[in-house]
Chain A
Amino acid sequence: NAGVTQTPKFRILKIGQSMTLQCTQDMNHNYMYWYRQDPGMGLKLIYYSVGAGITDKGEVPNGYNVSRSTTEDFPLRLELAAPSQTSVYFCASRTGGNEQFFGPGTRLTVL
């Protein structure tokens, strides 16, 4: 199993540009999550999904959108990038035993 994979690893965006961060898991987990990690702040939940076709907002959803058309994929969309979205983004999926598995992260810089 590859676990949770994320692409790209790094990206630099200009203010106002759009992009999609990809996340795929091969563990057949229903629950998936997107977090952002800012220095010294721990991780904050952006969006989560409890299964294909079902998504909900987390703590910091503004400026982001998600979709979940399949069990495996949970992409995160930034429509109008802002400097405040400079962060490291982690995708995770969860087992029935409540353990979350994290991807390696995407480091995004908005200039």
Chain B
Amino acid sequence: AQSVTQLGSHVSVSEGALVLLRCNYSSSVPPYLFWYVQYPNQGLQLLLKYTTGATLVKGINGFEAEFKKSETSFHLTKPSAHMSDAAEYFCAVSDLNAGNMLTFGGGTRLMVKP
């Protein structure tokens, strides 16, 4: 069974500072990995995904993530936080054996201080 662990349920950064949200996964097969963002009272929106190929993936809103197989990690970063980045972020791994169902981490709430 696959699992996803997001270290830190809450992360607080100052505006303009680096954003680093951590994600580690376990998977018995090469994974598809995703980061989703959820703004208050809204559904989930895809930020970026890794399937195959280049291990550094760029997404929307200036976010990027690097797939590191040796560390089973897929951490999300953004060089400079903006107030509008305040939201909840979910890392997910796709299970090809179950209709490509997504297994989600518990989420990390990002707070951005002015």
A positions within 8 Å CB-CB of B: 4, 31, 33, 40-45, 48-50, 56, 58, 90, 92, 94, 97-105
Cross-chain contact of A98 among B41, B90, B100 (Cβ < 8 A) = B100
Cross-chain contact of B43 among A45, A50, A97, A104 (Cβ < 8 A) = A104
Task: Name the interface size band of chain B.
Answer: 20 to 34
Q: Which of B43, B49, B51, B104 has the most CB of A within 10 A?
A: B43
Give the nearest-CB partner of A3 in chain B.
B43
Q: Is the CB of A43 within 8 A of B99?
A: no
Cross-chain contact of B102 among A56, A97, A100, A104 (Cβ < 8 A) = A100
Residue B18 CB within 8 A of the other chain: no
**Smallest CB–CB gap between B111 and chain A, Å?**
15
B positions within 8 Å CB-CB of A: 4, 9, 32, 36, 41-46, 49, 51, 90, 94, 98-102, 104-107
Give me 12 other A-B pairs in contact (C-beta within 8 A), A42-B106, A99-B49, A102-B43 excluded: A4-B43, A31-B100, A42-B90, A45-B101, A48-B101, A56-B98, A58-B101, A90-B43, A100-B46, A102-B45, A104-B42, A105-B42
Known: A98-B51, A98-B94. A43 touches B43 (CB 8 A): no
Q: Is the CB of A42 within 8 A of B44?
A: no
The number of A-B residue pairs with CB atoms under 8 Å apart is 58
Interface of A is mostly: strand
Q: Is the CB of A98 within 8 A of B98?
A: no
Q: Is the CB of B101 within 8 A of A98?
A: no
Q: Is the CB of A31 within 8 A of B99?
A: yes
Cross-chain contact of B107 among A42, A56, A90 (Cβ < 8 A) = A42
Instruction: Return chain B residues, CB-CB under 8 Å to A90.
Output: 43-44
Once bound together, how far apart are the Cα atoms of A102 and B47, in whole Å? Answer: 13
**Smallest CB–CB gap between B51 and chain A, Å?**
7
Once bound together, how far apart are the Cα atoms of A40 and B8, in whole Å? Answer: 11
**Smallest CB–CB gap between A98 and chain B, Å?**
6
Known: A31-B100, A56-B99. A99 touches B90 (CB 8 A): no
